[in-house]
Chains A and B, each alone.
Chain A
Amino acid sequence: MQDFMLIFHSSPSTDYRPSPEEIQASIKRWQDWIGNIAAQGKFLSTNALNRSGKVVAADGTVTDGPYTELKEIIGGYVLIRADNYDEAVDLSAGCPTFRLGGKVEVREVMKLD
């Protein structure tokens, strides 16, 4: 068993203003999708990230997000446990980010021992 991180990339349009009902429905979709993974005993942890952020450069300058120079932002991640890359990729099926044209990046977590 290996740990993998599923990272969600999307390019949200700035004029997207979902209604409270749409937000509710979206939360439900995410929870059901994560629940599908957890019901297989393969879920470890998850976090969703806010859209705003800060970028720190080596010289110490700090700029506010959103990052106009980047098309995609990371919306969150799920940490899972799977046998191999194939299974990790399979587990990303049905991810709600696909509905809005997003992508899932699947990365194996490096073992440091």
Chain B
Amino acid sequence: MPEKLLPNLFRTEYGKMVAVLLRTFGLDEVETAEDLVSETFLLAAETWGKKGLPQQPQAWLYGVAKNKAKDYLRRQQLYQQKIRPQWQRKQPLHQSPDLDFSPIGFQDSQLRLLFSLCHPSLSPDTQVCLSLRLLCGFGIGEIAQAFLTNKATIHKRIARGKTRLREQLTKLELPAEQQLSERLDSVLTTLYLLFNEGYYSSVSSEGFRENLCADAIRLTLLLTTYSPTEKPKVYALLALMCFQSSRFKARINPSGDFITYADQDRSLWDKRLILQGRHFMGKATADGQLSRYQLEAAIALLHTETDESAQKWPHILALYNRLLQLQYSPVAALNRTYAYSRVHGPKKALVEALKIQLAGNVNYHLLLGELYQQTANTTEAIVHWQQAIALTKDPAGQRMIQQKFQQND
């Protein structure tokens, strides 16, 4: 059996299968659905190891999971008297449209699960946690690492999230039309956070990061397959994700250290993803509305330009100005101040940088270090680089900042 086959299948199939089972079981039995799918993979590991790979591994997994689900439902029927009317009529289960392991069934169930997990009764953090677990099949350990916390905390957060969800919903349902657009906003926020977790996390492995970003793109694409959620802002988020992902290969050096945007080898930027992003961008501007996603996608698009035209940074600055008026975030404030320095020079930018007051944020101290260095104030630059190092937990990040000292010597 190829070494990575099973882990890869787990990543692509786990969430799909859990979603389909949950659609039949209802949210009361999240754990059962998770267990059945996990058992299916366990059985695959054993059987495939001994007997070799089946011709169609996916179909094998679906078949086993389906049988396990049917067995489970049958036992439920026997031992508990909680029987749904259609099963009392002895309707054979395999004809039940509920266990739909077809591409359309997967799409539909995942969409429902995504909207259920983004229920307003859950905090954005919990929504992200549950999505990582149920829709992307990530382990508790990986999630804990991404959130810079321990496994117990994540366990608790997930358990509490599931309980809260059960109090609100019994079945995986798409919200009614009036609530759909509001819920779509929180779905987009969750997908945006999911992607950023993958893109900016400094502690997780590069493999985890790329997988997470790919999952976020996959789930966002899902929204475009359903006409009520196929909205320009969804395409804008997709475009943003494509543009950002295009730099995956360029931003890590062979020893695993981050390479800053300015120092990246531009020939390594993924042109296919950039083109894909441009295609989505076309659909993102169809209604002339500018949500934060359109603005962020436009900023990301300008970052994919390999040649530095004179208008690049003024344009980026103008977009950040609008984005911040729409919604403040420390990241946007920091990036905007960097863009400001590219347009108005380090001296003026330093004045503004000191006003945004984000002490304790690694990137804030990095930015201040940079601006002090550019204005020939090495003493202050070093103070801020030291603060940045003190705030950085991973060795790779610390090495990157150390290099700045050396360049300064």
B-binding residues in A (CB < 8 A) = 28, 31-32, 34-36, 38-41, 43, 46
* Known contacts A41-B333, A43-B324: A35-B355 contact under CB 8 Å: no
Measured CB to CB, the nearest residue on chain A to B336 is: A39
* B321→A31 contact, CB < 8 A: yes
- Give every chain B residue within 8 A of A40 (Cβ-Cβ): 333, 355-357
* B337→A39 contact, CB < 8 A: yes
Q: How far is the CA of A31 from the CA of B315 in the complex (A)?
A: 12
* B333→A46 contact, CB < 8 A: no
* B324→A31 contact, CB < 8 A: no
Q: Residue A28 contacts which of B314, B325, B356 (CB distance < 8 angstroms)?
A: B314
Residues 336-349 of chain B, each 1 if its beta carbon lies under 8 Å from chain A, else 0: 11001001100000
- Give every chain B residue within 8 A of A36 (Cβ-Cβ): 352, 355
Residues 345-370 of chain B, each 1 if its beta carbon lies under 8 Å from chain A, else 0: 00000001001110000000000000
Q: Is B320 an interface residue (CB 8 A)?
A: yes
Q: How far is the CA of A5 from the CA of B350 in the complex (A)?
A: 26
Q: Which 7 pairs of residues, A with B, have the shortest CB-CB distance?
A: A35-B321, A38-B324, A41-B328, A39-B333, A31-B321, A38-B325, A39-B336
The binding surface of chain A is classed by DSSP as helix
* B325→A34 contact, CB < 8 A: yes
Residues 309-320 of chain B, each 1 if its beta carbon lies under 8 Å from chain A, else 0: 000001001101
Measured CB to CB, the nearest residue on chain A to B321 is: A35
Question: What number of residue pairs across chains A and B have CB atoms under 8 A from each other?
Answer: 46
* Known contacts A28-B318, A38-B321: A43-B328 contact under CB 8 Å: yes
Measured CB to CB, the nearest residue on chain B to A30 is: B321
* A34→B357 contact, CB < 8 A: no
A-binding residues in B (CB < 8 A) = 314, 317-318, 320-322, 324-325, 328, 332-333, 336-337, 340, 343-344, 352, 355-357
Q: How far is the CA of A91 from the CA of B138 in the complex (A)?
A: 46
Nearest-Cβ distance from residue A25 to partner chain B, whole angstroms? 11
- Give every chain A residue within 8 A of B333 (Cβ-Cβ): 38-41
* A39→B325 contact, CB < 8 A: no
Q: How far is the CA of A80 from the CA of B325 in the complex (A)?
A: 11
- Give every chain A residue within 8 A of B332 (Cβ-Cβ): 39
- Give every chain B residue within 8 A of A31 (Cβ-Cβ): 318, 321-322
* Known contacts A40-B355, A40-B356, A46-B325: A35-B314 contact under CB 8 Å: no
- Give every chain A residue within 8 A of B356 (Cβ-Cβ): 39-41
Q: How far is the CA of A39 from the CA of B333 in the complex (A)?
A: 5
Q: How far is the CA of A34 from the CA of B357 in the complex (A)?
A: 17
* Known contacts A39-B333, A40-B355, A41-B333: A32-B317 contact under CB 8 Å: yes
Measured CB to CB, the nearest residue on chain B to A27 is: B318
Measured CB to CB, the nearest residue on chain B to A35 is: B321
* A32→B340 contact, CB < 8 A: yes
13 other contacts beyond A39-B336, A39-B356, A41-B356, with CB at 8 A cut-off? A28-B314, A32-B317, A32-B321, A35-B324, A38-B325, A39-B324, A39-B328, A39-B337, A39-B352, A41-B328, A41-B333, A43-B324, A46-B325
- Give every chain B residue within 8 A of A41 (Cβ-Cβ): 328, 333, 356
Q: How far is the CA of A46 from the CA of B321 in the complex (A)?
A: 13
Measured CB to CB, the nearest residue on chain A to B325 is: A38
* A34→B355 contact, CB < 8 A: no
- Give every chain B residue within 8 A of A38 (Cβ-Cβ): 321, 324-325, 328, 333
Nearest-Cβ distance from residue A23 to partner chain B, whole angstroms? 15
- Give every chain B residue within 8 A of A43 (Cβ-Cβ): 324-325, 328
Measured CB to CB, the nearest residue on chain B to A43 is: B325
- Give every chain A residue within 8 A of B357 (Cβ-Cβ): 40
